[in-house]
Amino acid sequence: MSDRHNNKFISRRENAWRRNQNTVAFEHSTRLGPVSHTVLVAMMVAILGLIYLTQVTKTSSYGYAIERLNLQKTELVAKKSELQVESARLKSLQKIQSSEVAANLTKPASTDYIR
Amino acid sequence: MKFSLSLPRFRKSEILATIMIGFVVIIVLNLFYIQIIRHEYYKQQAYDEQVAKFVLPAKRGQIYARESGSIVPLVLNQPVYLAYADPQQIGDKSKLVSTVESIAGGNMVDDYKDGLNNKSLRYVVLARQLSNKQAELLKKKNLPGVGLTESDRRVYPEGSLAAQLLGYVDSENTGQYGVEGALNDRLKGKDGKLQAVTDVRRIPLTVSDDDVSIPAKDGDNLVLSIDRNVQAYAESALKTGLKRVNATKGSVVVMDPNNGQVMAMANYPTYNPSQYGKVTNYGVFQNGIVSEPYEVGSVLKTLTMGVGLDTGAVSTNTTFNNRGYVQIDDTKISNVEEDPISANATMTDVLHYSLNTGVVFILQQMGGGKVNLQARNKLYNYFHDQYRFGKKTGIEQTGESGGTIISPKDEQGNNVRYANMVFGQGMDVTMIQTAAAFGSAINGGTYYKPTVVAGTTDNGSNLHAAKAKVLKSNILRKNTSTTLRDMIVKGRQLGALGGRDRSGYIVGGKTGTSQVIDPRTGKYTDENSIGSYLGFGGNQTPHYVIMVQVKDSKAAGYSGTTAAGPIFLDISNWLLDYLKLPPR
């Protein structure tokens, strides 16, 4: 039974290889010597090292950004606390009682409830 | 024969190569030793140098009070700064001094100039408690060798309001007295931790998988059950009332009998928590309402009446022969106040005229006609197990006392003691115990745990309410509670203070004047008596319980009536308006 009849999937690449399996392989005339290999490996290591360094530096720079934002947050929280305290002082009973508005208020003579 | 030793001859280059190889071997071996054998040691050294551990301080929770459905701050945190200098790094010293002094002013510390002259020092404090504004100005000056450290201090926008109830926070950031002391763990929160590789300036860098970052857990922001206006009015009324009778000391507690929440706790004399260090009389730190048990006197007759009604020993129709005194074993117990001797004294008379003989009669009825073990056991069961005298209430205050109540099984728990206990002598209870027991006796019989905490808040505006906690139900039967309430109202209406209550409301109460034991003689004396008033008010049902205590009143008459009673009246009439209760 053919592959097609077996419903087996054959990729185009495999099919192409099967077609050309009897052809002669081409061999390039230039060959890399051991020095070239070493240089290439060294370059790859250097590139990888650079990539690593850029990543590490990048993540380190987040530390500075976080620190800067933390300082900013601390300053804002401090200002908020200051304002809260000031607001509370202005709304305190002592402040209200000594205000001009309070001085002009009069005590109700009596209180009645509508039933 | 000539001996000749022929040594191998080496070329110079071979010798040099051997030496070089030797060096390389030594270096390799050394590297092996350092990197392999001492690996952990050097790794730890590098780690210790590069990694810093920081404590992320938790913010202490703030404290709020209630006010007509909203929340108002009582204790807030304010950032303050400490300015310091490193004498080895400062530049122009005279410029530094003039700049810092012009900004810090009165916040400069003494003798800081001596520190600046000492170049061997690395840390000299220049100024403390600088405000945010001062710190900002100092930062802008960018003085070399000068730094700032931030911390928080507690501020009290309402000054000395509710001082004993709040307590204070000491220099170690630990709460002392009041809520600050009792709920210190909840308020202080939990510090966080940051462990990270840092640069030379100790700035954390996010490069290591070993970084640890545990955020701080801030303390709870507490909302007290205290109403700011009720508290302020209670304090004002107490101060005015004490001044009127030239008394030296007094306290007021206002509670909601329907959930056990304290609406006000006022003590006089008082102090300002922001200046706790200036206090010389340490007694003012104590909240006497919870920490000072005393013989409350005749106010307790209301609770004895509740026991008599609940046990069926007496009813509203019961009468007794009041001869003005009663003999219990070898002790004669007499009435002390205005005493209309009558063969048919009623139970309302007992409360109205504060008849000691009347409450002893109730005790006798509980024993089948005389004070005996049966009567003592019954009374102890109610006083200790139902009203919870002798047990701490668990209110969120430091130094709470459970008071003292002697068991009938104890040698000291004899007939005479129990005949005294029915009118509030011979046992010690605190004001909070008395007010809580009284609240449960008139609210239908449910004992709520007294509390000063209404809940928490995240942002200072929304209340996450805590549920009321029932410690015991049916301490009195419901109908007993209603009957008792009516009798207390009638007892007050017939008295001197009753006619001055706002009409259309139910207001009941009872005076008490306790004799104090003279430490010189060990006997009760009328000098320096303690006047008390215990009562409630509302429209259809009680909405508040007020207990007033006045010590050392100089006014004529019984201090329960002349000193404590008017303070109750003042607060009660004001509360009826403030709570916007429509009359019946």
> How many other β-carbons are positioned within 10 Å of the β-carbon of residue B525?
13
- B470 to chain A nearest CA, in Å? 34
Domain residue limits at A78: 31-98
Residue B92 included in any domain:
yes
Which is it for the CA torsion A91, A97, A100, A104, positive or negative? positive
Looking at residue B357, what is its pLDDT? Answer: 96
Min Cα distance A69 → chain B (Å) is: 12
Q: Give the pLDDT of residue A59.
A: 75
Residues B255 and B203 in one domain: no
Summarize the confidence of residues A59-70 as an average pLDDT: 84
> Residue B442: inside a domain, yes or no?
yes
The reply to whether B3 falls in a domain is no
CA distances from B357 to B214, B340, B344, B422 (A): 68, 12, 13, 10
Pick B228's closest partner by Cβ from A82, A84, A93. A93
Considering only alpha carbons, which residue of chain B is nearest residue A93?
B158
Q: Are residues B140 and B242 in the same domain?
A: no
- Whether A92 shows a pLDDT value over 50: the answer reads yes
Domains of chain B: total: 2
- Asked if residue A14 is part of any domain, the answer here is no
- Chain A nearest-CA distance from B242, in A, is 21
Residues of chain B where predicted confidence (pLDDT) is lower than 70: 1-5, 7, 206-208, 337-338, 526
Q: Token digits for A60?
A: 């380190």
Chain B neighbors of A67, CB-CB under 8 A: 203-204
The per-residue pLDDT for B340 is: 75
Q: At a CB cut-off of 8 Å and minimum separation 6, what does B294 contact?
A: B428, B429, B430, B514, B530, B549
- Is residue A103 in some structural domain? no
With CB atoms and an 8 Å threshold, state whether A79 touches B132.
yes
Judge if B238 and B215 occupy the same domain.
no
Contacts of B180 (CB under 8 A, 6+ apart): B63, B75, B166, B167, B168, B169, B187
Q: Check CB contact under 8 Å for B79 and A81.
A: yes
Scanning every residue of chain B, which has its alpha carbon at the shortest distance from the alpha carbon of A52?
B207
Domain contains B12: no
Structurally, how many domains does chain A consist of?
1
Could you tell me if B207 lies within 8 Å of chain A, comparing CB atoms? Answer: yes
Could you tell me the residue range of the domain that residue B555 belongs to?
A: 226-578
B contacts of A93 (beta carbons < 8 Å) = 158, 161, 228-229, 232
Chain B's closest residue to A92, CA to CA, is B158
Torsion of CA B559, B563, B565, B569, to 10 degrees: 180
User: What is the length of chain B?
Assistant: 584
Please check whether residue B207 is in contact with residue B47, taking contact to mean a CB–CB distance below 8 angstroms. no
Tell me, what DSSP letter sits at residue B62? P
- If asked whether residues B215 and B301 sit together in one domain, one would say no
- Whether residue B157 and residue A89 make contact (CB cut-off 8 A), yes or no, is yes
Say if residue B92 is in the same domain as residue B237: no
Task: Identify the CATH number of the domain in which residue B527 sits.
Answer: 3.40.710.10
pLDDT at A6: 57
Regarding whether B387 and B476 lie in a shared domain, the answer is yes
Among A56, A67, A77, the residue with its CB nearest the CB of B203 is A67
Residues B335 and B443 in one domain: yes
CA–CA distance, B545 with B264 (Å, rounded to integer): 11
Classify residue B360 as left (phi > 0), alpha (psi -120 to 50) or beta.
alpha
Choose the mutation target among A54, A76, A81 for the interface with B, i.e. most B CBs under 10 Å: A81
In this structure, the answer to whether residues B462 and B410 fall within a common structural domain is: yes
Which of A85, A94, A95, A110 would you mutate first to test chain B, the one with the most B CBs within 10 A?
Answer: A85
Q: Is residue A22 part of a domain?
A: no
CATH number at residue B68: 3.90.1310.10
Strand partners, B83: B127, B148
- In chain B, the residue whose alpha carbon lies closest to the alpha carbon of A63 is B205
Residue A12 has pLDDT above 80, yes or no: no
Give the closest-approach CA distance of A67 to chain B in angstroms: 7
Q: What pLDDT, in 10s, does the model give residues B388-433?
A: 999 999 999 999 999 999 999 999 999 999 999 999 999 999 999 9
Note whether B488 and B415 are same-domain residues: yes
Q: State yes or no: ipTM above 0.90.
A: no
Residue A57 belongs to a domain:
yes
- Whether residue A13 is contained in a domain is answered as no
Same domain, B195 and B282: no
What is the structure's pLDDT at A2? 45
**Where do we find the tokens 């006497």?**
B288
Q: Are residues B200 and B236 in the same domain?
A: no
Is the pLDDT at A3 greater than 50? The verdict is no
Q: Distance between CA atoms of B264 and B287, rounded to whole angstroms? A: 12
Which of B174, B200, B219 terminates a domain? The answer is B219
The first and second tokens of residue B132, run together, are 């945010």
Tell me whether residue B21 is in a domain: no
- Provide the pairing of β-strand B542-551 with B63-67: unpaired
With respect to residue B165, please indicate whether it lies within any of the assigned structural domains. no
Name the residue with higher pLDDT: B445 or A108: B445
Contact A82 B577 (CB under 8 A): no
In a domain, A75, yes or no: yes
Which amino acid is it at B574? W
Residues B448 and B501 in one domain: yes
Asked if B73 and A88 come within 8 Å (Cβ–Cβ), the reply is yes
Residue A90 within a domain: yes
Q: Do A59 and B206 touch (CB under 8 A)?
A: yes
